[in-house]
Homo-oligomer: A and B are copies of this chain.
Amino acid sequence: MADVTQRILALLAMLQTGRAFSGDELVARLDVSPRTLRRDIDRLRAYGYPVTTQPGPGGHYRLTAGTALPPLVLDDDEAIATLLGLATLSATGRAAEGSVDEAAARAYGKVDQYLPKRLRHRAGQLRASLETSTTLAPSISADVLVSLADAMQRRHVVTFDYVGKDGSATSRRVHPYRHVHHNLRWYLLAWDTHKSDWRVFRIDRITGLQTSTSTYTPRPLPTDTALDYLRQGLDKDRERVVLTIDAPLPAVADAFTYQEAELVPLSDQRTRAVLKLDTWHWLLLNLAFLDADFTVHEPSGFRTALRAFGARLMDRE
């Protein structure tokens, strides 16, 4: 056979039936020498196909993936969920080479083969019916995730360059503890050896990751979960904002749906709101969507900034 790739695909097609084939049979089918067949088998193994053999009388080659799969382990819903998880993950990011979303896109097209036969038809139907919109979020490297997970389990210290918000990179040497996924971003909770304190890093900003051989003694996590710590970190730079709004509580609650604000009715038409914000900017949408007068009691810096922005808005024309 003149074309290697075609022959490999033909060999795969035969083996994927799950049947056992003797070397002689495959040699005849593929029209190659026994030695070449053995090379082809080696090649498939190198690609990750688990071809098993038995020498001696009745010897044969067989592709074990089909028979090794546990049947009925994933129920229908779980199989569908696997597919959907990959579909949505593959649409979250920019498909950068080596990224998790890129790998998800590839797996999305392959995962059928790991499903029981009766579910494959359904998976095909679902795939044909489905479209996902791209969500712009930072891509992360699968390699980095896996390396960090390994370092965590073995308690290995890692070093990396970390690109901050201003674009400058600093070298870090840390004890990694947890990965956290929050709001489409992946974070690493780690103990920073230079700062002698806990730090949270965005994984998409980590470059040049190196795992060292030195190990660290685990210390208790700063909070019950890494997610709690991440949330605390987000709260650290927030100020307590107190404002009064000339609107009834339900209307205010609606405007503050996406923020954890404490709301107290002062009257039928007036509500007091207390919340934490790191910057006055985030108040704008709440106040804009509320067609009501309001007073910012504190902090005074917010009040000043809002007034300055108001002046900017009015200076047009």
Q: Could you list which residues of chain A lie within 8 angstroms of chain B, going by C-beta atoms?
A: 3-6, 8-9, 12-14, 16-19, 28-29, 43, 47-50, 65, 69-82, 84-92, 97-98, 100-111, 113-114, 116, 122, 125-133, 135-136, 142-143, 145-146, 148-150, 152-153, 176, 178-183, 225-227, 230-231, 258, 281, 284-285, 287-289, 293-296, 303, 306-307, 309-317
Known: A133-B227, A150-B125. A14 touches B313 (CB 8 A): no
Return A173 CB to nearest CB of chain B, in Å: 19
Report yes or no: B129 in contact with A149, Cβ–Cβ below 8 A.
Answer: yes
A49 with B77: in contact, given A5-B5, A149-B128, A181-B131 (CB under 8 Å)? no
What residues of B have a CB within 8 angstroms of the CB of A74 in the complex?
A: 107, 110-111, 114
Rounded to whole Å, the gap between the CB of A279 and the closest CB of chain B is: 9
Which chain B residues border A135 with CB–CB below 8 Å?
A: 183
Are B73 and A47 touching (Cβ within 8 A)?
A: yes
- Complex-state Cα separation, A219 to B142, whole angstroms: 42
Say yes or no: A113-B181 contact (C-beta < 8 A), given A90-B17, A313-B307, A316-B296: no
Selected contact of A314 from candidates B69, B90, B311, CB within 8 Å? B311
State the CA gap A73–B46 with chains docked (Å). Answer: 11
